[in-house]
Structure 1
Amino acid sequence: MRITGSIVLYHNERDVLLEAINSFLADDFEKHLYLIDNSRTNELQDIIQDSHVTYIHNPANPGFGAAHNIALKLAHTTASDFHLILNPDVYFGKGVMLELLDFVRDREDIGNIMPKVLYPDGSVQYLCKLLPTPYDWIGRRFNPFKNMVEKRNQLFELKFTGYDKIMEVPYLSGCFMFLRIAALKKVGMFDEGIFMYGEEADLCRRIIDGGFKTVFYPKATIYHHFEKGSHKSWRLTKIGIQSAIYYFNKWGWFFDRRRHRINQGTLKKLT
């Protein structure tokens, strides 16, 4: 089995980025990692010298999904079986990739799998979600009533499940997407109309519509530094809202029967 991976860079801290790179390289399998650098300069090109790593600098910043698509196109041409979308602030121990591969290898109906994601202090990150409604992506951001937001999060982020069992989840985080190349060949790659935020929801939805499963696998664990940039910067908030508008224009705002069926089916299985 050949596994490729990609990390999109943007003026990252070197120590944190090296943790992510070395996590992918740690296990013994046929592999290649693409570093797609959207930074204004190529100052990160010397981050690592390894025959399993290719560095590519973009002359302009095309966005998160578009940058990963550069690597995915290369993965398609190198007979890769799986491709890992990895955030530059994620790290994990040796054996994680092999454990995921062992689980997913012969389950050909799984198109995307994500392990349990923890903060560095060991607390859980709630990154399993239902397909979003406009309230989930826009309304929650501006709702001043924390109790209302948390009540919705219990459902939207599937907190009620305890995050302790294998489960099909329609919307998994883009910080770690272990993707089956055969699924991508059927449904396509990231929608480059989304610059950043929400592209993983769009891709997960298309993977499901292509007849594949998107699965949460808590038996493997990774760590994610994770800073909600969209909640700390109005520029990123604007990008997030623009992405949400694009997504809902594509799939439907308040009347989206397919979203309703997928979400209700998910909740029925989990409750």
Structure 2
Amino acid sequence: MTVVCVTYNSSTLVEAMASTLARFPHVVIIDNGSSDDTTAHIAQRIPHARLVTRAGNAGYGSANNQAMALVQTPFALLLNPDCLIAPDDLQCLLDCMRDHPQAGVVGPQNWRSETVPQISHREAFFKPDVDSTCTVPDKVVAADWIHGCCQLLRTRAFREIGGFDEIFFLYYEDDDLCLRMAQAGYQCLLQPAARAFHKGGASSAPSIRIDFIKRFHYARSRQIAIRRYMGKGAGRLHLAKLMIAALPAVVVYSLLLRRRDVIKWAAWGSAGFSAAFGLDLVPGRGKPAPASPVSNT
């Protein structure tokens, strides 16, 4: 089994990553063009990892696809830099995968703390009345979506479906991956006996620019997903509602001095404008450039 991590300006997380990854012999880390000292810290603190640096940020799915191309084990754990899992919990995921030969994805129950669970599985985003409450099951369950912060993949299944669709720069790539797994005949399972701890929102350093980029990509990826799984009509209706609401929301929240809401609606409106006019606006995306291996084990 190989652990795969994608980092981006994640230097503050390297210490915790090192503690987690030290327990696993096979590790691939792809750095998505960090502008801080993430890679230097990784090279120092996680020397056994195969570290690959990219000149620019081509997106989460693209980075994972590159990492998965290097995996030579039957299973791979995709693990966010702000997510922690113990060896016993990973073994629980591996046992579940081996007990279910048709499983393509198995995820743990994620926790914000020892007592606060995170929504880790649900039905497909487009199904009516999707339950947004966090219910922790007492046995293995099948789901349309398994949270992407920690996913154990069957390498063969991942490659069979072509990996992540790189049209999703950030967000909804895990929805799309799970849905395509199901289309190919594979199960997506949640094993609640396995626990992972996910801080959430900490995989890159916070800033107004990063907040705008994340919210832009949430809206952009949701629009792509709606068109793909609900049809062009639903996509057009969603886009119209978004564009009608965005400008008034920016004005109102500006007057109320609610900066976070201003950033959110400005980003969502920009994503809607980009989609409506067919513009290839992907903020945060770096130049596609060859990756450079830093260390190998």
TM-score by length of 2: 0.69
Distance 1:213 1:124 in 2: 23
Distance 2:97 2:200 in 1: 26
State which of 32, 39, 54 in structure 2 corresponds to 1:38.
32
- Following superposition, the deviation at residue 32 of structure 1 comes to 1.7
Q: Is the 8 A contact 2:109 2:136 kept in 1?
A: no
Distance 1:89 1:214 in 2: 22
3-state SS in 1 of match to 2:137? coil
When Rg is computed on C-alpha atoms for both structures, the one with the higher figure is 2
Can you give the 5+ residue segments of structure 2 that lack an aligned partner in the other structure? 235-297
Counterpart amino acid of residue 37 in structure 1: D
Distance 1:105 1:82 in 2: 10
- Following superposition, the deviation at residue 73 of structure 1 comes to 0.9
After alignment, is 43-52 or 184-193 more displaced? 43-52
3-state SS in 2 of match to 1:233? helix
Deviations 1:89-140 (Å, cap 9, x if unpaired)? 0112232222221222242111100111101353010121211129x9xxxx
Distance 1:91 1:101 in 2: 16
3-state SS in 2 of match to 1:195? coil
After alignment, is 85-94 or 209-218 more displaced? 85-94
Identity, % of aligned pairs?
Answer: 24
State which of 166, 172, 180 in structure 2 corresponds to 1:198.
172
Q: Are 1:74 and 2:67 counterparts?
A: no
Can you give the 5+ residue segments of structure 1 that lack an aligned partner in the other structure? 137-151, 257-271
Distance 2:131 2:165 in 1: 23
Q: Is the 8 A contact 1:170 1:204 kept in 2?
A: yes
3-state SS in 2 of match to 1:26? coil
Deviations 1:157-184 (Å, cap 9, x if unpaired)? 364x543321001111110010001211
Counterpart amino acid of residue 174 in structure 2: E
Q: Is the 8 A contact 2:103 2:189 kept in 1?
A: yes
3-state SS in 1 of match to 2:176? helix
Counterpart of 2:9 in structure 1 is: 11
Distance 2:65 2:18 in 1: 18
Q: Are 1:165 and 2:120 counterparts?
A: no
State which of 49, 70, 74 in structure 2 corresponds to 1:53.
49
Counterpart of 2:131 in structure 1 is: 156
Distance 2:231 2:84 in 1: 36
Aligned in 2, Cα 1:105/1:22: closer, same or farther, shift over 3 Å? farther
RMSD: 2.8
TM-score by length of 1: 0.75
Distance 1:162 1:96 in 2: 16
